[in-house]
């Protein structure tokens, strides 16, 4: 049995990171019983706000300790850099008989008493450096240099990220592994809720769905430009609306959401560029199950959760033509992430054709189980590699 210690990814402020952790703990519990045990370390505040929601994924209650606050971050990270270890956090995990510690955007030190796996979600700052303030770019890059040059196993979510890691951080070569995550969904249960979710949000029978946070690299502006082009062609009246969900704040561009919605309103597109706000996750996946097509115009992805959810539910996909999307969903329909006219053409083509029939729930469930088994096998291989290397 390998016991792996985790902290809350994103410290409660990054919904994608928290979702990733939930998926990983779920697959460990369901697929790796008797081989891997997960232990979750939370601050008192985290335990109060989200702790109970993790209980069913853990063999034992989460460990709650004040010393988890700031572990591997800020001053604690600097102390670990200077002294070799975040000793306060080390004392917590060693007392719980942990074999491996999972590290994300943290630095526990190069002489931490236990083996460490560092998950690097993506290398967006290297691919899209113009989207990062200089200080934020260097903070991220120096963190990755520390992790990739240290005595860690580097976990990546795609072959695309693996190639980037070796290119940008050559010291990582030979210390990396890929684990493509699979979401924790039961297609049967989700598909049974699709019509109720559609009606609850007042949506028509046909709609496109774009459930991305309004971050600048998610490229929502291209969709507005595509709708303007369709309007000029006189095709807007027959096009299914584009429905959006997700957080509306991006520290890099705080006015992005307002600017986009103002443009949509000024060109009378708000009926076709409709934001539902932050809705429950159960409704998000149900609407993926109901949509004519999942739309993702992003300029960059590490491993898209929404694409993975669409795969699980058999939803057709219209995706930006980036390397990651080609790897993750090779059967999707693609468009260049900088060409609004081609996106407009793709939207019109899909809108003109009847709704695509989904595969049966039985088929979807079988594929989903296979993806989760593959994910579990990749995680186990990384855990075993890390533990063996530390001997």
Q: How many helices (H) and strands (E) does the chain have?
A: 16, 13
Given a cut of 90, whether residue 50 has pLDDT beyond it is no
Question: For strand 293-296 and strand 208-210, is the pairing parallel, antiparallel, or unpaired?
Answer: parallel
pLDDT digits (tens, 9 = 90+) for 22-46: 899 999 999 999 999 999 999 999 9
Query: 10 Å Cβ neighbour count for 244?
Result: 23
DSSP 218: G
Interatomic CA distance for residues 388 and 370, integer angstroms: 27
Given a cut of 80, whether residue 11 has pLDDT beyond it is no
- Band (pLDDT 50/70/90 cuts) for residue 53 is confident
Interatomic CA distance for residues 290 and 322, integer angstroms: 25
Q: Provide the token pair at 145.
A: 């240099």
Q: What is the pLDDT of residue 13?
A: 57
User: Is residue 44 within 8 Å of 78, Cβ to Cβ?
Assistant: no
pLDDT digits (tens, 9 = 90+) for 162-184: 999 999 999 999 999 999 999 98
Q: What is the pLDDT of residue 55?
A: 87
Question: For strand 293-296 and strand 273-275, is the pairing parallel, antiparallel, or unpaired?
Answer: unpaired
Mean of pLDDT values over 66-85: 92
User: Is residue 135 within 8 Å of 251, Cβ to Cβ?
Assistant: no
Interatomic CA distance for residues 254 and 248, integer angstroms: 9
Interatomic CA distance for residues 30 and 367, integer angstroms: 16
4: part of which helix (H) or strand (E)? Answer: strand 2-7
Q: What is the pLDDT of residue 31?
A: 95
As a whole-number percent, the residues of the chain with pLDDT over 70 amount to: 98
Q: What is the pLDDT of residue 355?
A: 87
pLDDT digits (tens, 9 = 90+) for 208-221: 999 999 999 999 99
Given a cut of 90, whether residue 391 has pLDDT beyond it is no
Per DSSP, the residues of 139-165 read: HHHHHHHHHHHSS-EEEESSHHHHHHH
Given a cut of 90, whether residue 10 has pLDDT beyond it is no
Mean of pLDDT values over 92-117: 95
- Band (pLDDT 50/70/90 cuts) for residue 76 is very high
Given a cut of 80, whether residue 359 has pLDDT beyond it is yes
pTM of the predicted structure, to 2 decimals: 0.91
Q: What is the pLDDT of residue 352?
A: 92
- Which one of 75-79, 146-150, 306-310 scores highest in mean pLDDT? 306-310
Interatomic CA distance for residues 299 and 385, integer angstroms: 33
Domains of the chain: 2-183+370-389 (3.40.50.2000), 187-358 (3.40.50.2000)
Q: What is the pLDDT of residue 329?
A: 97
Q: What is the pLDDT of residue 387?
A: 86
User: Is residue 300 within 8 Å of 268, Cβ to Cβ?
Assistant: no
Candidates 45, 124, 110, 46; CA nearest to 72 is 110
Q: What is the pLDDT of residue 344?
A: 98
Question: For strand 116-119 and strand 153-156, is the pairing parallel, antiparallel, or unpaired?
Answer: parallel
Evaluated on CA atoms 45, 48, 49, 54, the torsion sign reads: positive
Crossing angle for the helix pair 281-290 and 305-313, nearest 10 degrees? Answer: 50
Interatomic CA distance for residues 148 and 150, integer angstroms: 6
User: Is residue 230 within 8 Å of 350, Cβ to Cβ?
Assistant: no
103: part of which helix (H) or strand (E)? Answer: strand 100-103
User: Is residue 219 within 8 Å of 298, Cβ to Cβ?
Assistant: yes
- Band (pLDDT 50/70/90 cuts) for residue 390 is low
Higher pLDDT, 273 or 19: 273
Across the chain, mean pLDDT equals: 94
Given a cut of 90, whether residue 194 has pLDDT beyond it is yes
Q: What is the pLDDT of residue 12?
A: 55
């Amino acid at each position: 049995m390998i016991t792996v210690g985790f902290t809350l990814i994103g410290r409660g402020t990054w919904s994608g990171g928290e979702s990733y952790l939930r998926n990983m703990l779920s697959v460990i519990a369901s697929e790796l019983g008797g081989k891997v045990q997960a232990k979750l370390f939370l601050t008192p505040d985290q335990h109060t706000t989200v702790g109970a929601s993790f209980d069913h994924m853990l063999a034992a209650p989460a460990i709650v300790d004040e010393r988890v606050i700031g572990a591997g971050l800020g001053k604690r990270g600097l102390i670990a850099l200077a002294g070799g270890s975040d000793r306060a956090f080390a004392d917590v995990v060693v007392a719980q008989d942990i074999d491996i510690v999972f590290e994300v955007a943290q630095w526990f030190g190069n002489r931490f008493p236990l083996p460490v796996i560092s998950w690097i979600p993506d290398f967006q700052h290297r691919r899209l450096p113009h989207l990062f303030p200089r200080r934020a770019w260097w903070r991220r890059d120096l963190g990755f240099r520390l992790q990739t040059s240290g005595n860690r196993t580097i976990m990546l979510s795609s072959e695309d990220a693996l190639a980037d890691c070796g290119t940008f951080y050559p010291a990582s070569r030979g210390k990396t592994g890929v684990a493509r995550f699979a979401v924790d969904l039961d297609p049967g249960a989700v598909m049974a809720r699709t019509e109720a979710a559609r009606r609850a949000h007042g949506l028509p029978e046909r709609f496109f769905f774009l459930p991305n946070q309004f971050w600048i690299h998610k490229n929502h502006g291209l969709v507005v430009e595509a709708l303007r082009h369709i309007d000029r062609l006189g095709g807007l009246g027959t096009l299914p609306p584009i429905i959006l969900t997700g957080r509306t704040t991006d520290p890099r561009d705080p006015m992005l959401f307002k600017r986009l919605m103002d443009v949509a309103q000024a060109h009378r597109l708000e009926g076709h560029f409709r934001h539902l706000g932050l809705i429950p996750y159960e409704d998000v996946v149900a609407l993926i199950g109901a949509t004519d097509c999942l739309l993702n115009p992003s300029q960059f992805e590490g491993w898209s959760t929404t694409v993975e959810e669409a795969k699980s539910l058999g939803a057709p996909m219209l995706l930006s033509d980036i390397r990651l999307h080609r790897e993750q969903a090779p059967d999707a329909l693609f468009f260049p992430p900088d060409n609004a006219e081609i996106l407009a053409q793709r939207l019109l083509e899909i809108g003109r054709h009847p709704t695509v029939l989904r595969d049966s729930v039985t088929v979807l469930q079988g594929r989903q189980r296979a993806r989760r088994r593959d994910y579990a096998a990749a995680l186990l291989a990384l855990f075993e590699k890390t533990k063996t290397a530390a001997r």
